[in-house]
């Protein structure tokens, strides 16, 4: 479904992704964990071309986004192709990024109408069904600033779903939320996972990663250090770097008295 | 004191020249209207060119804006009215005034639009891109509708400022308020009375307009409430340049 092969990415002299390879199968939920600055968000953003990669190949459904030319020069796909990829792979952001001048319904219908060419009526029907799914039917006519962070994030998920994406990328979607609002967003994501949505989730929510994901990827210093089934990776991490990270996270959770699982 | 002041007024013959002043005011308003009709869309095009991807358009727009903003409006008017005829390009005074002021104001308005567009948080661009929108759709559906709210109050202020700046075209003999006042006072020598009346006429139009802009400003501020901007470690929030930074000097 999603395939990254030897991705390298530099911001100037700063090498943020080093030879990253990852395959995500259809209906698979992959959680990416790791310390901040480890490149996990950057990797996610490379999947739908929000960031240009320096070298490597990304394919979505077997269709490469980047190709190598013979002399090693990177050929960047045309803008149209990149837009088509983005329409197929949804993304949800840490800071929600709802459109403040549009109502909740318009936020959800704007792309289906103007990018996919759906009729307004059809798009609105889809939006209503999605709002019901994320539990916000009564907020259809509200503006984003009238919603709580958790509600805004649920609308953002509905907005991504309205494109009927093949996969959704979640970029630390609960990091900007007040602690008591995290649960409602994770519940929606859990329901999506149960329905068989392909998801790549960059998260600090270890409980979610352990309970919901099919596979956990641990990243540090721009590399994928370890990949495994959640119970394996969390209970018996093979790499020292992973052990250190999990230990520090557990300690912090204990200090904060937070339940490790939500 | 007050009586001395009142005694300075001499309303003799006002019935004869007041209609002329009204005609002058009408021409000032016409100028304002015509120039805004041209400068508002032209300024937007310049702003889009300046933030666009075409290098040539970017350079051309920057050049135009810098040259226009770096030279006096009076000089531009002189150029159009007195220099261009040497190249066989002739305009009547009103047309020369409209063209000169349009050129001048489009450059300033371009900077207002640009600041408004730049002030939109980068997350909006990201969200639009992630939904597969092309640059054009993103501008039309997401960026410009939000930028307009930011930009309407400063644009309103420029409208008012333009109304007053129409007095500049008296230099190319357009019979607007100031030019009319000069003609009248040079024959009846009632400078005080004539120019005080003219001042009152300007104020009569500018002040309500300023109140309207203030009201718009409040309304727009309510409509422009945004979700809290979160600083993410990956996506820098675009520099929020103050629109006030482009105030005409």
pLDDT tens, N- to C-terminus, chain A (262 residues): 899 989 999 888 889 999 999 999 999 999 999 998 899 999 999 998 898 888 888 888 888 776 555 455 666 667 888 888 888 999 999 999 999 999 999 999 999 999 999 999 999 999 999 999 999 999 999 999 999 999 999 999 999 999 999 999 999 999 999 999 999 999 999 999 999 999 999 999 999 999 999 999 999 999 999 999 999 999 999 999 999 999 998 888 787 765 554 4
pTM: 0.83
Chain A residues inside the 8 Å CB shell of B152: none
Chain A residues inside the 8 Å CB shell of B149: 101
- Smallest Cβ distance to B131: which of A79, A115, A171? A115
3-state secondary structure chain A: CEEEEEEEEEECCEEEEEEEEEEECCCCEEEEECCCCCCHHHHHHHHCCCCCCCEEEEEECCEECEEECCCCCEEECCHHHHHHHHHHEEEECCCCCCCCCCCHHHHHHHHHHHCCCCCHHHHHHHHHHHHHHCCCHHHCCCCHHHCCHHHHHHHHHHHHHCCCCCEEEEECCCCCCCHHHHHHHHHHHHHHHHCCCEEEEECCCHHHHHHHCCEEEEEECCEEEEEECHHHHHHCCCCHHHHHHHHHHHHHHHHHCCCCCC
Confidence of residue B238 (pLDDT cuts 50, 70, 90): very low
- Smallest Cβ distance to B132: which of A45, A86, A94? A86
- Smallest Cβ distance to A86: which of B131, B135, B230? B131
Using the beta-carbon criterion (under 8 Å), do B132 and A79 form an inter-chain contact?
no
Q: Which residue of B has its CA nearest to A160?
A: B131
């Amino acid at each position: 479904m999603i395939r990254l092969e030897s991705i390298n990415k530099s911001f100037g002299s700063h090498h943020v992704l080093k030879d990253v390879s990852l395959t995500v199968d259809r209906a698979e939920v992959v959680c990416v964990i790791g310390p901040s600055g480890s490149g996990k968000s950057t990797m996610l953003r490379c999947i739908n071309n929000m960031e240009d990669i320096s070298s490597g190949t990304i394919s979505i459904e077997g269709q490469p986004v980047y190709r190598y030319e013979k002399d090693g020069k990177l050929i960047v796909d045309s803008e149209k192709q990149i837009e088509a990829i983005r329409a197929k792979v949804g993304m949800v952001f840490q800071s929600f990024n709802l459109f403040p001048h549009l109502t909740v319904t318009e936020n959800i219908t704007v792309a289906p109408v103007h990018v996919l060419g759906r009729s307004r009526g059809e798009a609105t029907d889809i939006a209503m069904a999605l709002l019901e799914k994320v539990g916000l039917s009564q907020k259809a006519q509200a503006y984003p600033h009238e919603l709580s962070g958790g509600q805004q994030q649920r609308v953002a998920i509905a907005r991504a779903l309205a494109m009927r994406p093949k996969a959704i990328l979640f970029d630390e979607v609960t990091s900007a939320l007040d602690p008591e609002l995290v649960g409602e967003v994770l519940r929606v994501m859990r329901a999506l996972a149960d329905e068989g949505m392909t998801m790549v989730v960059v998260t600090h929510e270890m409980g979610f990663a352990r309970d919901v994901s099919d596979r956990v990827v641990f990243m540090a210093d721009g590399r994928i250090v370890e990949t495994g089934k959640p119970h394996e990776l969390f209970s018996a991490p093979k790499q020292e770097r992973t052990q250190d990270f999990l230990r520090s996270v557990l300690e912090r959770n204990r200090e904060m008295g937070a339940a490790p699982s939500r | 004191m007050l009586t001395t002041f009142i005694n300075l007024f001499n309303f003799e013959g006002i019935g004869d020249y007041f209609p002329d002043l009204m005609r002058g005011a009408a021409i000032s308003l016409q100028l304002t209207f015509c120039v805004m009709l041209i400068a508002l869309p032209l300024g937007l095009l310049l702003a889009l060119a300046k933030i666009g991807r075409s290098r040539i358009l970017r350079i051309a727009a920057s050049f135009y804006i810098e040259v226009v903003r770096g030279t006096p409006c009076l000089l531009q008017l002189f150029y159009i009215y007195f220099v261009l005829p040497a190249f066989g390009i002739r305009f009547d005074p009103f047309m020369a005034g409209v063209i000169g002021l349009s050129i001048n104001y489009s450059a300033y308005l371009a900077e207002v639009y640009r600041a408004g567009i730049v002030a939109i948080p980068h997350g909006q661009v990201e969200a639009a891109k992630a939904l597969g929108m092309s640059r054009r759709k993103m501008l039309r559906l997401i960026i410009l509708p939000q930028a307009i709210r930011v930009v309407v109050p400063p644009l309103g202020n420029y409208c008012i400022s333009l109304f007053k700046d129409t007095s500049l075209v008296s230099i190319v003999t357009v019979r607007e308020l100031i030019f009319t006042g000069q003609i009248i006072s040079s024959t009846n020598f009632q400078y005080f009375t004539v120019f005080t009346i003219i001042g009152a006429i300007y104020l009569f139009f500018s002040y309500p307009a300023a109140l309207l802009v203030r009201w718009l400003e409040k309304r727009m501020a309510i409509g422009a409430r945004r979700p809290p901007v979160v600083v993410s470690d990956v996506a820098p929030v675009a520099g929020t340049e103050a629109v006030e930074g482009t105030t005409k000097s």
